[in-house]
Amino acid sequence: MGIRRRDFLKGAGLAAATLGLPRLARGTDTASIYDLERFGNARILHITDTHAQLNPVYFREPSVNIGIGEMAGRPPHLVGRAFLERFGIRPDSADAYAFTCFEFEKSAGRFGKLGGFAHLKTLVDRLRADVGERRSLLVDGGDLWQGTGLANAMQGRDMVEVANLLGIEAMTGHWEFTYGEQALRDNLERFKGEFLAQNVFLTEEAAFNDAPAFDKATGRVFKPSVIKEIGSHRVAIIGQAFPYVPIAHPKKFTPDWTFGIREEELQKHVDALRGTDKVDAVILLSHNGMDVDLKLASRVTGIDVILGGHTHDAVPQPIAVKNAGGTTLVTNAGSNGKFLAVLDLAIDKGKVSDVHYHLLPVYSELLKPDPAMAELIGRLRAPHVTDWSAKIATPDRLLYRRGNFSGPMDELICTALRTELDAEIALSPGFRWGVTALSGQALTMEDVLAETAITYPETYVQEMTGAQIKDVLEDVCDNLFNADPYYQQGGDMVRAGGLSYTCTPDAAIGSRISELRLGNGKALNASHRYKIAGWASVNDQRGAPVWDVVGKYLRSGRMLQERLGSGVMLKGVDGNPGIAGQG
Amino acid sequence: MTTTPKPHPTRRLILQGAASVALLGLGNLPFAAPARAAANDKYPEEAFKQKSEADAIKALYGKTAEPSDKVKLDAPEIAENGGVVPISVTTTLDKVTSISFFVAENPFALAASYKIPDGTIPAVANRLKMARTTRLTAIVEADGKLYSATKEVKVTVGGCGG
């Protein structure tokens, strides 16, 4: 650990992650980066979008995360060096490795994997012990139950056990909903914390038919908020589930429920918590995505802090947003278990007077795994370990997914789909979960599942005209780059294999995608029909699960013969600090 | 449409929430209810035939509307199902005599028009079919003047990221 310890120390003293105050990291033990100065009288710990990654992972942050219009050049739309400069992080530090794509491969060898629930448990317990009994709260922003083969096979039950041992007291959801109502409710029976969602309502039909709801008067399916006593103060946590579940996923999983941002209902609820319940602080535990949260913070009053997720943005400092009632802080706490956010509040009667915030990378090599959690993880994984741990291929390059347009992992999936299903073009969803594999690191079925494990994995082959293909690209691109964040769903561009195109992110819908060409360079013909392969369709499909298709392709040993370059040309975004020029 | 055979909490709830006027567009037949409501007036046949929003407003009212924050239009930012998009309007304006909805990108822009009888709370809810992403306009006629609110409703093919 000698060399590695020095590496961590170099990065530890940087002034980055708090509002105003430098992170205090002194002493000989490198893990002292987790010694936070005492501040305030209430500590809220926040994790989000862990995507069920029980063990530590490599996860490369994006090198392309473009902000358009008002969002251009503003967090979270900064990558690489621009990100490091904005937050004062030294390029050779461990934090540079955790928060950005900067020299990722080189740093991965120095600093190792991040996250893992046994390591996280150690850190959570320590930070809770630091402030004493009943002075802290642990909340999860959703996407806790999905992202691995194990979570998919167990419909998230594994993660409920893990959440209970970790001590999660409140959560909201997104992919949790894709197990369907019954599995969701069964899991919530076992969950010791509260599942909160102010923005999920019965449809009128379901209300008419007396479907179960937390509150029949409002039609709210779940409890919207919980009031927790921390020290002598009352803190309200409101849940905000992902607003577009029935649009982003097959509607069949949530036929009785309707979602949305529900700004007005939220405002009413905040007002009631302030006016009637006389709470001292209001926190929104949100799965909106950061751009949506920033807009919401400018319009809804009375929220002290929005603890955000969904867009997987690891943002070291809260963004302060002014609104008619004062200021709301907006955070986003990264993904895949890499980070633990620590929000220290100084609460007076009826108001938050000051805040310290730290987004702590969970460096697995600096934290001793908690034995009880390690034992639980081992027990949960045991039934599948043998099946899923056989090496099926060894890539000769870095494979990552995250990025607005493409990444080598999805290029590989697209190549597998095109080859195995004999299609000219492959389309693969722009998910932001899915871990990174280093060059030379053997891939197992468990790795393949970590990129593909969803409840609607069926592949399809269908014909589409060139015009239809363009329409699909335009539609998804608008979800990413619409100038109004409320019309964005989060997530990245659909990945295209065997197809190249030019994208002008700041154009209007219908004009962003141009110069579509097949892999052989021939221009796409608007009326010609092409054979398309894909997966994760919101419509019912019947093909083999995508992980079998990718697994079969990898076992054939052909995977890396093909060139894995991105087929997207960008226009009109020169100089945008959301592009680091590498992928 | 609003007669409830026996007290039923859920049913009452829907009725309260959906529309306080005597019309309830629960079905996907937005034209039927206004026709009945306007039984004493002439059915606005010409207005329903107009393709563009501007022409439909002109045919229905013969004048233009001014945007007003007293007209509260509620509609989803992104439709969960473009075939049945729930929308509603309430207003704090006095002397409301009619409320109308226009879907700019539909083949015929005027979707529904409600006469509001004197003394009725001006609140209307309906579900509209939207072929594609469109501007939705609600017009409230009050004291002889027109007031409007608009909202973009996105109709998308779906699919996710996060």
Q: Which amino acid is at B34?
A: P
Q: Which two tokens stand for residue A244?
A: 């577009």
User: For residue B15, is it within any domain?
Assistant: no
pLDDT recorded at residue A563: 56
Is B20 an 8 Å CB contact of chain A? no
Decide the pairing of beta strands A492-497 and A425-430.
Answer: antiparallel
State the pLDDT at residue A5.
47
Instruction: Give me the interface pTM, i.e. the ipTM.
Output: 0.84
Q: Which residue has the tokens 């589930």?
A: A241
Share of chain B above pLDDT 90, in %: 67
Instruction: Give SS3 for A56.
Output: coil
> Among all chains, which residue has been given the structure tokens 């005599």?
B97
Between CA A539 and CA A252 the distance in angstroms is: 9
Q: Which residues of B138-151 are buried (b: 16+ CB within 10 A; e: fewer)?
A: bbbbbeeebbbbbe
Per DSSP, chain A holds a count of helices (H) and strands (E) of 17, 23
What lies within 8 Å, CB to CB, of A70 at 6+ separation is: A483
Count of domains observed in chain B: 1
Question: For the residues of chain B, what is the DSSP string, one character each?
Answer: ----SS--HHHHHHHHHH-SSS----SS-TTHHHHHHTTTSPP-HHHHH-SSHHHHHHHHHSS--EE-TTEEEE--SB-S-TTSEEEEEEE--SSEEEEEEEETTSSSSEEEEEE--TT---EEEEEE--SSSEEEEEEEEETTEEEEEEEEEB--------
When pLDDT is cut at 50, 70 and 90, the band that residue B3 belongs to is very low
Residue A560's pLDDT is 61
Residue A485's Cβ-side half-sphere holds a number of Cα atoms within 13 Å equal to: 21
**Shortest Cα–Cα distance, B140 to chain A (Å):** 21
**Chain A, 76-135: which have a CB under 8 Å from a chain B CB?**
none
Angle of helix A157-166 versus helix A371-388 axis, rounded to 10 = 160
pLDDT (tens digit per residue) in A541-552:
999 999 999 999
pLDDT at B23 over 60: no
Q: Which residues pair with B98 in a beta bridge?
A: B115, B141
Q: Please say whether the beta carbons of A311 and A287 come within 8 A.
A: no
Q: Do B26 and A204 touch (CB under 8 A)?
A: yes
Read off the pLDDT band of B146 (50, 70, 90): very high
Instruction: Tell me, yes or no, whether B4 lies in a domain.
Output: no
Residue B13 placed within a domain: no
Let me know if residue B32 belongs to a domain.
Answer: no
Q: Do A204 and B86 make contact, defined as CB atoms within 8 angstroms?
A: yes
Q: What is the predicted pLDDT for the residue at A559? A: 67
Hey, what are B70's tokens? 């007293």
User: A219 and chain B: CB distance < 8 Å anywhere?
Assistant: yes
| Nearest residue, CB atoms, A492 vs list B17, B26, B161 | B161
pTM for the whole structure: 0.90
Q: How many CB atoms sit inside 10 A of residue A180's CB?
A: 16
Whether the CB of A532 is below 8 Å from some CB of chain B: the reply is no
Q: For residue B50, is it within any domain?
A: yes
Which CATH number covers residue B142?
2.60.40.2470
Beta-bridged to residue A489, according to DSSP, are none
Q: Does B162 touch chain A (CB under 8 A)?
A: yes
Residue B19 has pLDDT above 90, yes or no: no
Residue A573 has pLDDT above 60, yes or no: yes
Predicted confidence band of residue B20 (pLDDT cuts 50, 70, 90): very low
Write the residue in A260, A312, A472 that is nearest to B157 by C-beta: A472
Q: Test A494 with B159 for CB contact under 8 angstroms.
A: yes
Distance separating alpha carbons of residues A483 and A68, to the nearest angstrom = 7
Helix axes A290-299, A263-275, angle to 10 degrees: 60
E-state strands within A75-195 = 136-140, 170-171, 194-195
Which among A287, A431, A537 has CB closest to B161?
Answer: A431
pLDDT of residue A17: 39
Residue B111 in any domain: the answer is yes
CA angle A123, A127, A129 (to 5 degrees): 115
CB A234 within 8 A of CB A277: yes
Q: Quick check: B80 and A258 CB within 8 A? A: yes
For residue A263, CA distances in Å to A269, A553, A565, A583, B96 come to 10, 46, 42, 36, 26
Q: Which residues of B touch A509 (CB under 8 A)?
A: 133
Q: Which two tokens stand for residue A46?
A: 């926040």
Question: Which residues on neighbouring strands pair with residue A319, listed in sequence order?
Answer: A330
Q: Is A429's CB within 8 Å of B159's CB?
A: yes
pLDDT-based confidence at residue A2 (cuts at 50, 70, 90): very low
B110 backbone dihedrals φ, ψ, rounded to 5°:
-75, 120
Question: How far is Cα A474 from Cα B59, in angstroms, rounded to an integer?
Answer: 35
pLDDT band with cut points at 50, 70 and 90 for residue A280:
very high
- Alpha-carbon distance of A175 to A42, in angstroms, equals 30
- Residues of chain A found within 8 Å of residue B11, distances taken between Cβ atoms: 208
Q: What is the pLDDT of residues A133-162, one digit of tens each?
A: 999 999 999 999 999 999 999 999 999 999
Q: Does pLDDT of A28 surpass 90?
A: no
Cis omega before residue A76 (within 30°)? yes
**Is B22 contained in some domain?**
no
The pLDDT of B7-30, averaged and rounded, is 40
DSSP one-letter code for A108:
H
For B10, the closest of A210, A475, A484 (CB atoms) is A210
CB A271 within 8 A of CB A221: no
A141 touches chain B (CB under 8 A): no
Residues 463-522 of A with CB under 8 A from B: 471-472, 475-476, 478-480, 482, 484, 486-487, 489-492, 494, 509
Q: Is some CB atom of chain A closer than 8 A to the CB atom of B161? A: yes
Q: Are strands A42-47 and A136-140 parallel, antiparallel or unpaired?
A: parallel
A149 phi and psi angles, rounded to 5 deg: -60, -40
- The set of residues, in sequence order, having a beta carbon less than 8 Å from that of A133 and lying 6+ positions away, is none
Task: Please state which of the ranges A189-193, A438-442, A510-514, A577-581 shows the lowest mean pLDDT.
Answer: A577-581
CA–CA dist A463, A75 (Å, integer):
40
A518 to A420, A535, A571: CA distances (angstroms): 18, 20, 19
Q: Which domain holds residue B125?
A: 41-155
B9, part of any domain = no
Q: List B residues 74-133 in contact with A (Cβ-Cβ < 8 A).
A: 74, 76-81, 86, 133
The string of DSSP letters for A477-531 reads HHHHH-SSGGG---SEEEEEESEEEEE-TTS-TTSSEEEEEETTSPBPPSSSEEE
Q: Are A414 and A485 in contact (CB under 8 A)?
A: no
A293 touches chain B (CB under 8 A): no
Contacts of A536 in chain B (CB under 8 A): 159-160
According to the 3-state scheme, what is the secondary structure of A191-227? Answer: CCCEEECCCCEECHHHHHCCCCCCECCCCECCECEEE
Higher pLDDT, B152 or A561: B152
Token pair, residue A172, equals 């909201």
Q: Are A204 and B81 an interchain contact pair (Cβ–Cβ within 8 Å)?
A: no
Contacts of A445 (CB under 8 A, 6+ apart): A149, A387, A388, A389, A390, A392, A547, A551
**Chain B window 26-55: which residues touch A at a Cβ cutoff of 8 Å?**
26
pLDDT tens digits, A340-361: 999 999 999 999 999 999 999 9
